[in-house]
Structure 1
Amino acid sequence: MPRSKDAFEHVRPLDFKAPEDVLDADMMYTTYEIARLLQGLDPERDLDAETEAVLLDWAIPWIMVNAESFVFAKPTADDEPGYYGLA
């Protein structure tokens, strides 16, 4: 249900980081790793499935909006994710 802005102590602008501020130019990452990095977490950190799903909800649109900044590598196996890196 919508809430009045007055119900919140602090609101701030929605500000997304640029891909080059999040990723190392020499590395390739899965969407799961990118999702963690966007939150300032270690890309190899274990997360419960529910938390990971929430982080992916933020990461996937961020990747799509910044698609021109990325290159893609096919997964190494059918059951593995693909990898993304800076163009």
Structure 2
Amino acid sequence: MPRDKDAFDTIRPLDFRSPDEVLDEDKMYTVFEIARLLQGLDAEADLDYDTEDVLLSWAIPWVMVNADDLSFADPMADDDPGFYGLR
């Protein structure tokens, strides 16, 4: 349900960091690792399923919006995720 803006103490602008601010140029990351990095967490941080699901809802659009700056590597196995890095 929508809420009035005055119901919130703080409203901030929605700013996404650029890929070069998030990713190391010599590494490739899964979307799960990118999701953690976007939140300032360690790429290997242990998260519960529900938290990881929420973080992915931010990371997937970020990858799509920044596709021109990213490269892609195939998964290591058929049931593994692919990897993304700086172009």
Q: TM-score range by the shorter chain?
A: over 0.9
TM-score by length of 1: 0.98
Question: Separation in 1 of the partners of 2:9 and 2:47?
Answer: 29
Residue 36 of structure 1 corresponds to 36
Number of residue equivalences: 87
Aligned partners of 1:9, 1:47: CA distance in 2, in Å?
A: 28
Structure 1: runs of 5 or more not aligned: none
RMSD across aligned C-alpha pairs, in angstroms?
0.5
- Percent identity of paired positions between Structure 1 and Structure 2: 68
Q: Secondary structure at the match of 1:85?
A: strand
Equivalent position amino acid for 1:49 in 2:
Y
Letter in 1 for 2:23: L
Q: CA deviation at 1:79?
A: 1.1
Structure 1 segment 1-87 matched on structure 2, within 5 A: 1-87=1-87
Determine the C-alpha separation between the residues in 1 that align with 2:80 and 2:10: 40
Give the Cα separation in 1 of the matches to 2:10 and 2:77: 45
Residue type of the alignment partner of 2:26: D
Q: State the TM-score, normalizing by the size of structure 2.
A: 0.98
SS in 2 for 1:72: strand
Report Cα offsets for 1:27-48 as digits up to 9, x if no partner: 0000000000000001001111
Task: Give the Cα–Cα distance (whole angstroms) in 2 for the partners of residues 48 and 25 of structure 1.
Answer: 28
